[in-house]
């Protein structure tokens, strides 16, 4: 079991960035993301014997984290489903119009349900099928969300580029 702990700790350290990005993409608050990740790590460790394939630790841990983060978000906002959450108000305050908007700046402007698929697909490079398992939603829904996310991201990044080049 000691070896298991060492293996688990090493793996979790390697996955830190992914854990942060996913949790933050759902909660958009550093403190909450820290709490959610701590909770998820603890839960994962406690249930480590249910992980049959060690190579699947990353998607398994991200799935636990996604659930924990959504649970926190729901209790923070009431029992709405993720799709029902209102759009975050779009603000350009954090982006200097003289510099190109980074992809992450644009991702932050998406709705929570879109942010999560974008993080898993583009940043973590999971397949649609894997994302559907992590998020517990149908592959079609993942595709739909990805497609809408792409459109929104394209608009956001294009507008930013236009502003940068003065083509408004």
| Binder of other proteins out of 28, 29, 48, 128 (CB under 8 A) | 48
Cα–Cα–Cα angle for 103, 90, 36, rounded to 5 degrees: 70
| Binder of other proteins out of 31, 81, 93, 167 (CB under 8 A) | 31
Asked if 60 touches other proteins (CB under 8 A), the answer is no
CA distance 163 to 142: 31
Using the structure block, give the residue that is written with the tokens 């460790």: 45
Q: At what angle do helices 2-14 and 16-27 cross, to 10 degrees?
A: 60
Asked if 42 touches other proteins (CB under 8 A), the answer is yes
For other proteins, what does the binding mask look like between residues 115 and 134, x meaning CB under 8 A? -------xx-x---------
For other proteins, what does the binding mask look like between residues 79 and 108, x meaning CB under 8 A? x----------------------xxx----
For other proteins, what does the binding mask look like between residues 129 and 168, x meaning CB under 8 A? ---------------------x--xx--------------
Pick the closer one to other proteins by CB: 103 or 163: 103
Q: Determine the 3-state secondary structure of 37 from DSSP.
A: helix
Question: Among the residues of the chain, which ranges form H helices?
Answer: 2-14, 16-27, 30-46, 57-77, 103-108, 112-118, 128-135, 139-165
Asked if 5 touches other proteins (CB under 8 A), the answer is yes
Distances (CA, A) of 93 to 21, 83, 89, 101, 129: 21, 26, 11, 12, 36
Per CB under 8 A, residues contacting other proteins are 1-2, 4-5, 8-9, 12-13, 16-17, 19-21, 30-31, 33-35, 37-39, 41-43, 45-49, 67, 71-72, 75-76, 78-79, 102-104, 122-123, 125, 150, 153-154
């Amino acid at each position: 079991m000691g070896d298991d702990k060492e293996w688990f700790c090493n793996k979790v350290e390697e996955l830190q960035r992914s854990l942060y990005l996913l949790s933050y993409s759902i909660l958009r608050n550093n403190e909450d993301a820290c709490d959610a990740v701590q909770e998820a790590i603890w839960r994962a460790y406690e249930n480590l014997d249910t992980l049959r394939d060690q190579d699947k630790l990353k998607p398994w841990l991200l799935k636990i984290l996604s659930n924990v983060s959504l649970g926190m978000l729901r209790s923070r906002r009431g029992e709405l489903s993720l799709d029902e959450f209102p759009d975050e108000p779009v603000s350009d305050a954090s982006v200097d119009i003289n510099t190109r908007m980074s992809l992450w700046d644009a991702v932050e402007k998406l709705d929570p349900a879109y942010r999560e698929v974008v993080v898993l697909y583009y940043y973590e490079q999971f397949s649609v099928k894997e994302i559907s398992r992590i998020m517990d939603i149908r592959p079609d829904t993942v595709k739909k969300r990805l497609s809408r996310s792409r459109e929104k991201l394209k608009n956001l990044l294009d507008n930013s580029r236009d502003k940068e080049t003065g083509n408004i």
